[in-house]
Amino acid sequence: MSDQPEYMPVRHHEGSVAGSGERMRIAPLRWYGFSTGGGRFVVRTDPRSALRAAVAQLQAVGFALGDETFQRRLTESGSKWLAQDLRLGNIKESWKRGFISWVVEDTGLEFFRRFWRGAAPTLVVAAARETASGTELVIYPHTSWRGGSDQNDAAPLMRTTLAALADHFSNSGALISFEKLRGIKNDGSPASQAVVRAMLGWR
């Protein structure tokens, strides 16, 4: 596996979001479709480097880094995956901002940032492991059904992330394959819904 140059994250430049992590807010009249989706890379680099690049990119577009709980629980379960959870939005803030957006709708006030709605709570997992074909890197988001918004606010951030990583791995000669994921199987991967529900209580 080749040595990779230091990853330089790409920021999301669309003017429809403000802030990051729990404090991210979304401009009015924005809807990003029914499916957020993720991606799976196979690359010629070690799992730790691949995961580090993915996490740096997700942070650059506005996701907030989780603590070491997820990796510790994975290791204790015997998993060979390296993984990190990152988050967007806040359940209470999402409900509050959603209500405010409804109250000020069509008043003209909704275009001021203080009235933008809170981002739909989303947890995204980046996970990497070594395989016979190279390092497998999976990135997948899970929007919480407990949030006050059914919008896929993570969608443009995920598109920026996947495109930036694909360019990086391709330009450095490390990319073996890449596929977009419209869904993810509960196959034991840390990025699957079953694992984040069991280990992080995410719903």
Listing DSSP states for 22-53 in one string gives GG-EE-SS----S---EEEEEESS-HHHHHHH
Q: What is the pLDDT of residue 10?
A: 86
Q: Is residue 19 part of a domain?
A: no
**How far are the Cα atoms of 61, 118, 136, 167, 177 from residue 156, in angstroms, in the given order?**
9, 16, 23, 17, 22
Contact 62, 26 (CB under 8 A): no
Q: Is residue 152 part of a domain?
A: yes
Q: Is residue 94 part of a domain?
A: no
What is the CATH classification number for the domain harbouring 190? 3.30.160.110
Lowest pLDDT segment from 58-67, 80-89, 115-124: 115-124
At residue 169, the 3 state secondary structure works out as helix
* DSSP-H helix ranges across 61-154: 69-76, 91-104
Q: Is residue 103 part of a domain?
A: no
Q: What is the pLDDT of residue 109?
A: 47
Q: Is the pLDDT reported for residue 116 higher than 80?
A: no
pLDDT tens digits, 13-40 = 666 766 666 767 666 655 555 567 899 9
Q: How far apart are CA 80 and CA 127, in angstroms?
A: 10
Q: Is the pLDDT reported for residue 80 higher than 90?
A: yes
Crossing angle of the two packed helices 69-76 and 193-200, in degrees rounded to 10:
100
177 residue type, one letter: S
Q: Is residue 7 part of a domain?
A: no
Q: Is residue 16 part of a domain?
A: no
Q: What is the pLDDT of residue 12?
A: 72
Give the total number of structural domains in the chain.
1
Q: Is residue 116 part of a domain?
A: no
Q: Is residue 13 part of a domain?
A: no
CA-nearest of 119, 110, 185, 112 to 156 is 119
Beta-sheet pairing, 134-143 with 117-118: unpaired
CA-nearest of 22, 35, 152 to 96 is 22
Q: How far apart are CA 59 and CA 9, in angstroms?
A: 9
At residue 104, the 3 state secondary structure works out as helix
Residue environment code for 136-170, b if the CB has 16+ CB neighbours within 10 A, otherwise e: bbbbbbbbbeebbbebbbbbbbbbbbbebbeebbe
pLDDT tens digits, 136-190 = 999 999 988 776 555 678 888 999 999 999 999 999 999 999 999 999 989 889 9
Residue-number span of the structural domain to which 61 is assigned: 32-88+121-200
* DSSP-H helix ranges across the chain: 47-60, 69-76, 91-104, 155-171, 193-200
Q: Is the pLDDT reported for residue 96 higher than 70?
A: no
